Structure 1
Amino acid sequence: MIDLCAIRRLQTSLRSFEEELKSKTGLSFNDALLLCAVNKGVCEPRALAQELELSPSRLTRVLDSLESRLLIKRTLSDTDRRSLTVSLTEEGATMVHQYSCSEIAIPEDLQFTQEERTI
């Protein structure tokens, strides 16, 4: 049986983490996840939408927000001029490096045990 109380604690912990992330970095959770995905090499909008489980319209809003803040740039693909490639700007790359979650307290409910990390 599902422990709904445990799920509620996780939800509360995640919300607290998101609030701290926003206050320290100015980034929403989706903003931060997208920057990390692009930093890992996921560069095509369709792949980003799949990686982050976002609808195309939601992805566009996140990309627009990050581009307006000069954290990413969208350019035509070198291999297919019909598609776009997303890349980090220098400022975006700096932000990814500067705000690795080490400075943001991860609630205990959201932390993995050593055993879970090896799975």
Structure 2
Amino acid sequence: MSDRRLDDSEMATWLPTIRFVQLLPQVLDRTLKAETGLKHSHYAILVTLAGQGDRAIPMTELAQIAGLSRSRLSHAIDSLEERGWVTRTSCSSDRRTLTAALTEAGRELLRTAAPVHVAQIRALILDPLTDAEREQLGAILAKLTPGVAAAL
């Protein structure tokens, strides 16, 4: 790795990026908690499980998809399970493998939380951008995400 400093142009890109990356989760978390009592990180887990239909997903796979450490995911699933939004069971083919699935109560919570989340994403990210800018942002993030994910 090079130890050279970022030049002015690089800093002009990096500083707003890091500020945005730090602020967005806080804003999303605050709004979802206020409107639904749900943390944004928990919402992301529930949405991931909902995307699996009725299939229970192995915890290791869920951690990868959600971008969480296994420990952090386990604590989140504990909390979601206590509230009746998720069930956790041992895999039928390998008792050592734990799986998680969304409950009907979890689906109902998502039906309530999704409009709040979507409205906020539109207001904060999508609506201020033109169609071309949204396309550019999507392409840029799709290009950067694999390298960040691989570094985890």
Question: Which gives a bigger RCO, structure 1 or 2 (Cα 8 Å, sep 6+)?
Answer: 1
- What 5-or-longer segments of structure 2 have no aligned partner? 1-9, 140-152
Aligned residues: 118
Q: CA RMSD in A?
A: 2.4
- Give unmatched runs, 5+ long, in structure 1: none
Runs of 4+ in 1 over 6 A off after TM superposition: none
Report which stretch shifted further, 9-18 or 49-58. Answer: 9-18
1:110 CA displacement: 2.8
Q: Cα offset for 1:77?
A: 1.4
90-99 vs 107-116, which moves further: 107-116
Q: Higher helix share goes to which structure?
A: 2
Alignment match, 2:102: 88
Match of 2:69 among 31, 37, 55: 55
Task: Determine which structure has more spread, i.e. the larger CA radius of gyration.
Answer: 2
TM-score by length of 2: 0.66
TM-score (ref. length: structure 1) = 0.81
TM alignment of 1:1-119, pairs within 5 A: 1=10, 2-9=13-20, 11-41=22-52, 43-100=57-114, 102-104=115-117, 105-106=120-121, 108-111=123-126, 114-115=131-132, 116=135
CA deviations on 1:6-59 (whole Å, 9 max, x unpaired) are 542453344222200111111112100100111111711001111122111111
Counterparts of 2:123 and 2:17 in 1: how far apart (Å)? Answer: 12
